[in-house]
Chains A and B, each alone.
Chain A
Amino acid sequence: MQTHDSPQLKAEARDFNFFYGQAQALKKINMPIYDKKVTALIGPSGCGKSTYLRSFNRMHDLYPGNRYEGEIRFYPDNTNLLSPEVDPIEVRMRVGMVFQKPNPFPKTIYENVAYGLRVRGENNKRVLDEKVENALRGAAIWEEVKDRLQDLAPNLSGGQQQRLCIARALATDPELLLFDEPTSALDPIATGAIEELVHELKKRVTILIVTHNMQQAARVSDYTAYMYLGEMVEFGKTDEIFIKPKDKRTEDYITGRMG
């Protein structure tokens, strides 16, 4: 699959299995994630796409009984994100995440964005001010909130909250940004704004996005992976997947015969 025009690898899953207790949720997943590209994960509910996404920042480590097998290689340093020797906190410092439902902290807009920097020990007001502004600009919400940075974040609209959460993730310059169905709780206008933003963001960060909306996958992504029952059925360039899928199951799903 790796041809001469393929971009650089940012991460790569190798024979990755995941277990919730005894139940195997992901089976032998092999998949590349290309640098500064948007990769979409699609598939029916329960296929494991969110489980897969949440492995990239070791979110499963927060709960007991979860187990990883295999590797997710992270480049350029070739770290195995899943290795028990790698601290999940180190992973989360490099891999940001935006959740399905906007989850701003019940603090001010400013503090929401500054939080990741404070966690890293940054307390210099000038540095914080600058990075908060940059992150809010990066998430295309600066103009809307610049005059009320001290307002409580939960008072923002749903779409603004989600962009604030994106700013929170951007503030610490992640190398990979995970989106877990970021627009499923938003109206079409807010959704459009987020999609546009994703398109803009890939200039500076690699993006992995779970979506149950196939039009969205087609609109925003460069690569698409179709997952079904915990398996990676098909991976390829988005236009190829949508125009001529190789696997019958992928074709059934994207043409709406299943899902």
Chain B
Amino acid sequence: MQPMTTEQIRALIARGKLKDTLFQAIGILCLGIGLLVIFLLVGDMLMRGMERLNIEFFTEFASRRASQSGILSAWVGTLLVMLVTAAAAVPLGVAAGIYLEEYAKRNWVTDIIEINITNLAAVPSIVYGLLALGIFVYTFGFGQSILSAGLTLALLILPIVIVATREAIRSIPAMIREGSMAVGATRWQTCRYHIIPYAMPGILTGVIIGLARAIGETAPIITIGALTFIAFLPPAPFAPTGMDGATAGMFDWVMSPFTVMPIQIFNWTSRPDPAFEVNAAAAGFVLMGMVLSMNAVAIWLRYRMRKNIKW
């Protein structure tokens, strides 16, 4: 082949650069479309719900009159359900993930388990609702409570937590594990001192992504029978319950009836009075805010913890 002249080389580079620019433009366009849609949705909700977004909206219970309605029981319910969900899903999911990565032998049993975890993540949430109705609500007798809802959503996000845990563990280099084992550590010591701490940022990110998904779930919560109208809060721990000086137990609140944000929103959108749509938009905006702030916490946590972990 003849060596190329300078002009030919420059022409070649120019052609290549043109395609570079072209792809860059297409990429920005695609990204822009996605972002624009999200901004429009959030912006639209904010515009429509703006007039209702004041302190009372957060401190009032739902009411028959739209202008006096608030989301107090809904946001408290959502927070409490998330608390139960996290408390159940994190230990289960993290332990399962650690077991699969660090202890389980690679054979057909673990292969099947692995496939099933992937499948579990794809099960429609309503099916979890049906399952929970049968198991938590009736068989275990938890009723239509925060506990039932929290456990249901925990099941729902369990695959996400397990997968996140495994991914986080896999990103730890083998030489770290070998370094620990080489001084005579047991597998558990290696997990306890190295694997779990180093995987924590990834695990937390997965947990929060899972919770962000759970926070918006409506179908399974309706299936287990969450009420749409609740004008009281679950009993706070040790709060007085009556005239005789009795107080609520530490965990009485988990058995309380409840409602959550998405159900409140759903309830308002199905009212004939258009004034409730303003409430729905405002509550939708608040829910978005909750999800986004959870993601922000995830990003911050990951940044903080990763700073000290490098190989």
> A103 touching B179 by the CB < 8 A rule?
yes
> A64 touching B106 by the CB < 8 A rule?
yes
Q: Mark A63-74, 1 if CB is under 8 A from B, else 0.
A: 010000000000
6 nearest A-B residue pairs (beta carbon): A93-B184, A116-B183, A103-B175, A92-B184, A97-B182, A103-B179
CB neighbours (8 Å) of A172 from chain B are 183-184
Count contacts between A and B, CB distance < 8 Å: 68
> B184 touching A62 by the CB < 8 A rule?
no
Give bound CA distance, A105 to B185, whole Å.
14
Minimum CB–CB distance for B183 against chain A, Å: 4
| Most A Cβ at <10 Å: residue of B106, B182, B185 | B182
**A204 sits at the interface (CB 8 A):** no
Q: Mark B88-112, 1 if CB is under 8 A from A, else 0.
A: 0000000000000000011000000
Which stretch from B79-87, B271-279, B303-311 is at the chain A interface?
B303-311
Which stretch from B38-46, B126-134, B186-194 is at the chain A interface?
B186-194
> A99 touching B183 by the CB < 8 A rule?
no
Minimum CB–CB distance for A141 against chain B, Å: 17
* Minimal Cβ-Cβ distance residue in A for B307: A152
**A96 sits at the interface (CB 8 A):** yes
Q: How many residues of A contact B (CB 8 A)?
A: 27
Between-chain CB contacts (< 8 Å), 9 pairs? A92-B182, A93-B184, A103-B178, A105-B180, A105-B193, A106-B176, A118-B193, A154-B310, A154-B311
> B178 touching A99 by the CB < 8 A rule?
yes
Give bound CA distance, A92 to B175, whole Å.
15
Which chain B residues (181-207) contact chain A, with CB distance < 8 Å? 181-186, 189, 193-194, 198
Known contacts A62-B178, A93-B184, A99-B179, A106 near B106 by CB under 8 Å: no
Give bound CA distance, A103 to B311, whole Å.
7
> A62 touching B310 by the CB < 8 A rule?
no
CB neighbours (8 Å) of A89 from chain B are 184-186
* Minimal Cβ-Cβ distance residue in B for A97: B182
**A101 sits at the interface (CB 8 A):** yes
Query: Contact size class for B?
Result: 20 to 34
Out of A59, A106, A119, A120, which one reaches B310, CB within 8 Å?
A106
Give bound CA distance, A91 to B176, whole Å.
19
> A106 touching B182 by the CB < 8 A rule?
no
> A106 touching B198 by the CB < 8 A rule?
yes
> A59 touching B178 by the CB < 8 A rule?
yes
> B184 touching A59 by the CB < 8 A rule?
no
Known contacts A106-B310, A154-B310, A116 near B184 by CB under 8 Å: yes
